[in-house]
Amino acid sequence: MRIFKVFRAAEWAKLSTQGRTSGAPVDRADGFIHFSTQDQLGETLARHFKGLTDLVLVACEADDLGPALKWEPSRGGADFPHLYRDLTTDDVLWHREIPREGIAGLTL
């Protein structure tokens, strides 16, 4: 199953350059990297990234992230994927800029 992480462009640039990240400030504060499934992605963007531009969508294969990926109840009791280790560029299947109009035009 593919899961997705939204990064601000500067966060993505740092991951691309350094090869790993412990995530955005909210991820570091919570102790894990927040991901969303395809079905959860639209609400994640609306709640946490509304009005922001220069966003990058990163896709990863959940099964490839190993035992550090935990599925835990979050928003509305739904299980969300949380990664309890750094994310590396080797984990990334692909990345794409998110257009201003959102993910509707992206092929996931």
For residues 35 and 69, give the distance between their C-alpha atoms in angstroms, rounded to a whole number.
10
> Tens of pLDDT along 26-39?
999 999 999 999 99
- What's the pLDDT at 100? 75
- What's the pLDDT at 38? 95
Both tokens of residue 49?
């990234």
The answer to pTM > 0.95 is no
- What's the pLDDT at 106? 66
For residues 65 and 1, give the distance between their C-alpha atoms in angstroms, rounded to a whole number.
11
Percent of the chain surpassing pLDDT 90: 81
Q: Give the chain's domains with CATH numbers.
A: 2-100 (3.20.170.20)
For residues 29 and 32, give the distance between their C-alpha atoms in angstroms, rounded to a whole number.
8
- What's the pLDDT at 41? 94
Gyration radius from the chain CA atoms = 13
Torsion angles phi and psi, residue 49, rounded to 5: -135, 15
- pLDDT for 105 beyond 70: no
Q: What is the mean pLDDT of the chain?
A: 93
Task: Give the type of residue at 101.
Answer: E
CB count in 10 Å sphere of residue 28? 12
Mean pLDDT (whole number) for 86-101: 93
For residues 58 and 43, give the distance between their C-alpha atoms in angstroms, rounded to a whole number.
16
